[in-house]
Structure 1
């Protein structure tokens, strides 16, 4: 039976532990729009849920409701919002386990105040997020901006700067070839997350293949039929659970069992 009594601090510690020196299958997070969808993801055996800040409104109430709805880690993607400090404070109180942010602020579409001074520096926003964090187990991840003229080399350089500044994980963009994943894995010594919800012309590699390429977390879009998702998801999760069993019951498998 699922329990929602796992405290936020414990969820954060479990997620951090599961990512430390990870081997075996990548953790699977699913983007969800509501608390009900989060509960279904937990019942299907996924490792966590992903929320986009742009869909949540200006307060942490929706996030807190989703955290209360199921026992898994909740990851919130802030994207390029300007007020990182306030968002991190709200989300930590709401109980999230991980926060992602773009390393550059995006212009406000409503034409309000522009990005704060220094926001073009790849580590400035990370420093603000780390300064706002109170629980050291709250994971802070960064998505490096990739300039079209620089590509993978620029992404590696920016990611290395963020690792040196204290990032807990890096959000990997979609390389043009699978070799790009290998380059990033060899260049960086912290967990790597692939956001498969990002729009692209081609589908990403399968979760199994991404794990083979050294990726640690995969965020899946909501692609299954909303009217009957359970049967389809059970087939996907059964495959993942079989891989856990073959892994010999390591720390990742134990963490998943503690979540249930």
Structure 2
């Protein structure tokens, strides 16, 4: 009922312990708090909060237009709604090293278990678009050092994302990743890898957990969980997938309304009212107020 019973500190410890186990953790992207609860219900390991999704929700392109307050606010709404650890996209840290430090503390206060900061030049752009630019290595390292120095909970996961692969190739990516680890990064997010061999090369070079971004229609092939596990990937995210599925369904629904004037034919594709009420735990609220959940839902089959 209401929000998560686990504290942010407990979720951070949970993420650290799971990463230390050597498992491959699966983090679908939540486009809202209800989606985060669905991800938990279906048994996944964590929730990813995508900057691209937040931008899209606001009707904006993913080119660095969102603000720290918008990202922190949405992260708080999502993280508090699930017992799972949440990993959030902190873009470039929203400014210079002092801004990065504030970003870390704001997101820590929002209850996330981890965040990643990238080495793109401001204003950044989606990691799977052409024309990206990255900052020089000293600037990238300053961002990560500032992030590590600013965290108050040592279990908060500071992940460094590098976009060097799309600019200067794999060897330069590995060199940058090693330097980011030396600067204090707990994990590495090598963006836009083009093969399993590239993921494996980064993992073997850095010796810390790495993340694979399985975003659709991007630079990376959509590898399976088993394939990624075999090359040593520690976390896999599907950042925009649920939003794409939901928007695709919404588009089909609008088309059906225009064509038929009703959505009767699409009822089997919809989440039933009973499933929604179970997900948001209507019955749990009855513990506090019997007037809240005092009704039957027609057509619901007993479990």
CA shift in 2, pair 1:119/1:175, >3 Å: closer
CA shift in 2, pair 1:202/1:172, >3 Å: closer
Structure 2 residue aligned with 1:70: 82
Deviation at 1:156, TM superposition (A): 0.4
Deviation at 1:190, TM superposition (A): 0.5
SS of residue in 2 equivalent to 1:218: strand
Distance in 1 between residues matched to 2:223 and 2:194, nearest whole Å: 12
Deviation at 1:219, TM superposition (A): 0.3
Structure 1 residue aligned with 2:9: 9
Q: Which moved more, 1:152-161 or 1:195-204?
A: 195-204
Structure 1 residue aligned with 2:116: 100
Matched, 1:22 2:22: yes
Distance in 2 between residues matched to 1:131 and 1:96, nearest whole Å: 17
Structure 2 residue aligned with 1:41: 39
Structure 2 portions without partners, runs of 5+ = 55-65, 126-134, 250-268, 272-303
CA RMSD, Structure 1 to Structure 2 (Å): 2.7
TM-score normalised per structure 2: 0.66
Which has the larger Rg?
2
CA shift in 2, pair 1:58/1:163, >3 Å: closer
Structure 1 residue aligned with 2:145: 127
Distance in 2 between residues matched to 1:187 and 1:14, nearest whole Å: 26
Structure 1 residue aligned with 2:106: 90
Distance in 1 between residues matched to 2:217 and 2:31, nearest whole Å: 17
Structure 1 portions without partners, runs of 5+ = 110-116, 231-260
Higher RCO, Cα 8 Å, sep 6+: 1
CA shift in 2, pair 1:198/1:90, >3 Å: farther
Structure 2 residue aligned with 1:214: 232
Deviation at 1:62, TM superposition (A): 2.4
Select 2:182's aligned residue among 158, 164, 167.
164
Contact 1:32–1:38 (Cα < 8 Å) also in 2: yes
Distance in 2 between residues matched to 1:149 and 1:220, nearest whole Å: 23
Q: Which moved more, 1:126-135 or 1:139-148?
A: 139-148
TM-score normalised per structure 1: 0.76
Structure 2 residue aligned with 1:178: 196
Deviation at 1:211, TM superposition (A): 0.6
SS of residue in 2 equivalent to 1:170: strand
CA shift in 2, pair 1:148/1:48, >3 Å: closer
Deviation at 1:180, TM superposition (A): 1.2
Distance in 2 between residues matched to 1:48 and 1:148, nearest whole Å: 28
Matched, 1:52 2:56: no
